[in-house]
Structure 1
Amino acid sequence: MPPALALYQPDIAKNAGTLARAAACLAVPLHIIEPAGFPVGDAGFRRAGMDYLDRAAIRRHSSFAAFESWRRSEGRRLVLCTTRGSQPYTGFAFAAGDLLLLGRESAGVPDAVHGAADARIVIPLAPGARSLNVALAGAMILGEALRQVGAWPAAPAG
């Protein structure tokens, strides 16, 4: 089972659409924890996801409590990607089935969600830099997780 992306109440349709496209192209599931700040059928979401959205395995959860209940029943680890993390993502040991949780662009995640995470990782930034775009950060961390667990999609022959 590959790692999966999870978006906590995403604010910006284009970022969520970009991550849905990445999930489709890399054959990983995408979980959207509602409420989102836009309808999932939003034009910006569809434009960013392009024609890949039909190939994306997107699962919507009505709330964090619903997501957390599902996650615990699956026995999966929750890895929060946060500017408040203490461990650089490149030094973290990812495992198959990890759920990589990205917070809202405007506010991250609340303390209760932060506390529910099994691990909190960060992308080290240059002094004075606050954060990266959530879609870029998600793609960087997902790439490292896939590399570590050997879960890249099969390349075409030839």
Structure 2
Amino acid sequence: MLNIVLFEPEIPANTGNIGRTCVATNTRLHLIEPLGFRLNEKAIKRAGMDYWDQLDVTTYIDYNDFLEKNPGAKIYMATTKAPNVYTDVKYEPDCYIMFGKESAGIPEEILVHHKEDSIRIPMVGDIRSLNLGNSVAIVLYEALRQNQFAGMNLEGHLHRLEWDI
């Protein structure tokens, strides 16, 4: 099972959307405090819709608490400062992919120890970053693809009609 880690997320709608994506992909969500919202806020529940109660989510008081409770975890750091493109790494089935807070990303004091495991989504020009929910979806689905979408529905079905052959 893959793991998404949000370092000090600030916007409840982003976290709610990411939570819904995690439920849809059977991915664990890890939230490192402080959070810019309360987990019982309407905005987070609205974005996560009625899936929030199905979410496997763990909170941590800080980054060190996260590391202590997940010893030996393989962590990829998603950041615009990374030297590696997100498609150039091999995601292990139980790895952790960390994303920073919306206003500042992952602190450089953490990144400096993770050069080989830092990944970025390519962008043109001086765009600062993509939306956090979009970034999580892009990288998570690449990790899922590399792991053959293990345990996921790979085929959809029409409800009332047959496919035209």
Normalised TM-score (structure 1):
0.91
Q: Which position in structure 1 is the counterpart of 2:153?
A: 155
- For residue 156 of structure 1, report the CA deviation from its aligned partner: 7.9
Return the alpha-carbon distance in structure 2 between the equivalents of residues 82 and 18 of structure 1: 19
Classify the secondary structure of the residue corresponding to 1:124.
coil
Of 81, 106, 110, 1:109 maps to 106
2:2–2:96 Cα contact (<8 Å) kept = yes
Q: Which residue of 2 aligns with 1:38?
A: 37
Gaps of 5+ in 2: 158-165
One-letter amino acid of the structure 2 residue matched with residue 113 of structure 1: I
More helix as a share of residues: 1
Q: Larger relative CO (CA 8 A, sep 6+): 1 or 2?
A: 1
Relative to 1, partners in 2 of residues 1:11 and 1:43: Cα closer, same or farther, differing over 3 Å? same
Query: CA separation in 2, counterparts of 1:18 and 1:153?
Result: 21
Alignment-derived partner of residue 19 in structure 1: 18
> Mean Cα displacement is larger for which, 144-153 or 12-21?
144-153
Change (3 A) 1:77 1:156: closer
* C-alpha RMSD over aligned residues: 1.6
| Larger-Rg structure | 2
Q: Distance in 1 between matches of 2:87 and 2:154?
A: 28
**AA paired with 1:102?**
F
TM-score normalized by structure 2? Answer: 0.88
Code of the aligned partner of 1:98: C
Among all aligned residue pairs of Structure 1 and Structure 2, give the percentage whose two residues are the same amino acid: 30
Task: Please list, as runs of the form range in 1=range in 2, the aligned pairs for 1:119-158 lying within 5 A after superposition.
Answer: 119-155=117-153
